[in-house]
A and B are shown apart, each in its own frame.
Chain A
Amino acid sequence: MIRRLILSTSVSALALGGMPAQAVEYGTLQAAKSSVALTSKQMGVAVDGHFKKFNATISFDPAKPTAASARIDLDLNSVDAGSPDANDEVVGKPWFNVKVFPTASFVSSSVKALGGDRYEAIGKLNIKGKSQDAVLPFTVKQDGSSATFAGSFTVKRLDFAIGEGAWSDVGTVANEVQVKFNLVAAKK
């Protein structure tokens, strides 16, 4: 699988002056262990797919989680929507229209701690030239030298004009598309 992850550490590392000794910051993404999957529902049947290429920029300090930030970019050309038929269709104009809008992104503006290992990233989802507020709940599991940021959220495809014309019938392809991310970052 060609999964290319680039991590740029834009970073609040500068702000870490007075942290306790055990504070660790996670940043460098581990490509082979990360994934962004999507599940659509066609005629009541869940169909799994995923993105083969995506970039992510994550800054997370366990001691100061609310200062965390994230940016995820999905290469929409790399989508596997579940079947060869669907892959041909989904890059076209009624769906992602990748010629004009090759990338989808999530950019966080703030992070809320929900207690335990649960957090919420609040920000903007940008797909097909449209921008919408989004809240991505996620958990952070720390495991020695790395941390896993995992979560899932629902995108209403018609909010972004994904699947126009005849495809806007949500009885055939449901409006709700589940996106599941699992991003593994190494300790900096």
Chain B
Amino acid sequence: MTRNRYTATAIGLHWLIALVLIGLFGVGLYMTGLKLSPQKLQIYSWHKWAGVTVFLLVLARIAWRIGHPPPPDPAGMPRWQVVAAHGVHHLLYLLMIAIPLSGWLMSSAKGFQTVWFGVLPLPDLLDKNKELGDLLQAVHKFLNYSLAGLVLAHAGAALKHHLIDRDDVLARMLPISRFLDKNR
């Protein structure tokens, strides 16, 4: 029965990470345009703290996935879709690792050490350097827009599986699948 579903841990991490990432993306868009204020400093700090947190969650998700392989692709999926689906998943993981790293390095290059929740200092791997800071900011932005595009493709494909192919690809990742799981 559970063979065709993701584990509860994988499902929990997937949706938690999704929520935090969407929130961080929105906050990131909003905060960069703000005039300097105490509130701006607070928002930037929370953005960094949440970014470190999501990085750790992604590592946990990857570690879990290694020990708990996802359910197989539905039978009869065209070859190109299998390749595209797996390619997108790999890129999603890659970006979810690369984006927090780029943010952390950007912060270092701009002269602001990241101190997780104001308590745990992360090492500054880069010295303060304005040009490098600006470059890393551009990289962080580019990676984020790439992730946003991939997330849309990922969600679109899941909906297509559910609504058009009428298979269990979406249902097996939903926390509650009683009404959606076509295998029951």
Taking Cβ atoms with an 8 Å cutoff, the residues of A that contact B are 42-48, 82-83, 85-86, 88-89, 166-167, 169, 172-173
Query: Which of A43, A46, A48 contacts B41, CB < 8 Å?
Result: A43
- Is the CB of B112 closer than 8 A to any CB of chain A? yes
Interface size on B, residues (CB 8 A): 17
CB contact list, B22-64 vs A, under 8 A? 36-39, 41-42, 44-45
- Is the CB of B113 closer than 8 A to any CB of chain A? yes
Q: Does B38 contact A83, Cβ atoms closer than 8 Å?
A: no
Q: Give B112-154 as 1s and 0s: 1 = Cβ < 8 Å from A's Cβ atoms.
A: 1111001100000000100000000000000000000000000
Which of A45, A47, A167 lies at the interface centre, i.e. has the most chain B CB atoms within 10 A of its CB? Answer: A45
Q: Give B92-123 as 1s and 0s: 1 = Cβ < 8 Å from A's Cβ atoms.
A: 00000000000000000011111100110000
For the complex, give the distance between the alpha carbons of A86 and B111 in Å: 12
Given contacts A43-B42, A83-B110, A172-B42, contact A166 B37 (CB under 8 A): yes
Q: Does B41 contact A172, Cβ atoms closer than 8 Å?
A: yes
List 19 A-B pairs, Cβ < 8 Å: A42-B41, A42-B112, A43-B44, A43-B115, A44-B115, A44-B119, A45-B112, A45-B118, A47-B111, A47-B112, A48-B111, A48-B128, A85-B36, A86-B36, A88-B36, A89-B36, A166-B37, A166-B38, A166-B39
Q: Does A83 contact B118, Cβ atoms closer than 8 Å?
A: no
* Nearest CB in chain B: distance from A177 CB, A: 15
Query: Which of B41, B44, B113 contacts A173, CB < 8 Å?
Result: B41
Could you list 17 further interchain pairs (A-B, Cβ under 8 angstroms) beyond the known A46-B113, A166-B37, A172-B41? A43-B45, A43-B115, A44-B118, A44-B119, A45-B112, A45-B113, A47-B111, A47-B112, A48-B111, A82-B111, A83-B112, A85-B36, A86-B36, A88-B36, A89-B36, A169-B38, A172-B42
Contacts of A44 in B (CB 8 A): 45, 115, 118-119
* Nearest CB in chain B: distance from A109 CB, A: 36
Contacts of A48 in B (CB 8 A): 111, 128
For the complex, give the distance between the alpha carbons of A133 and B118 in Å: 32
For the complex, give the distance between the alpha carbons of A42 and B41 in Å: 7
Q: Does B118 contact A43, Cβ atoms closer than 8 Å?
A: yes
Q: Does A83 contact B41, Cβ atoms closer than 8 Å?
A: no
The 6 closest A-B pairs by CB, nearest first: A44-B118, A172-B38, A43-B45, A85-B36, A89-B36, A45-B115
Contacts of B37 in A (CB 8 A): 166
For the complex, give the distance between the alpha carbons of A42 and B115 in Å: 11
Which of B36, B39, B110 lies at the interface centre, i.e. has the most chain A CB atoms within 10 A of its CB? Answer: B36
For the complex, give the distance between the alpha carbons of A24 and B44 in Å: 53
* Nearest CB in chain B: distance from A45 CB, A: 5
Contacts of B45 in A (CB 8 A): 43-45
Please give me the residue from chain B that is nearest to A43 by CB atom: B45
Please give me the residue from chain A that is nearest to B121 by CB atom: A45
* Nearest CB in chain B: distance from A91 CB, A: 12
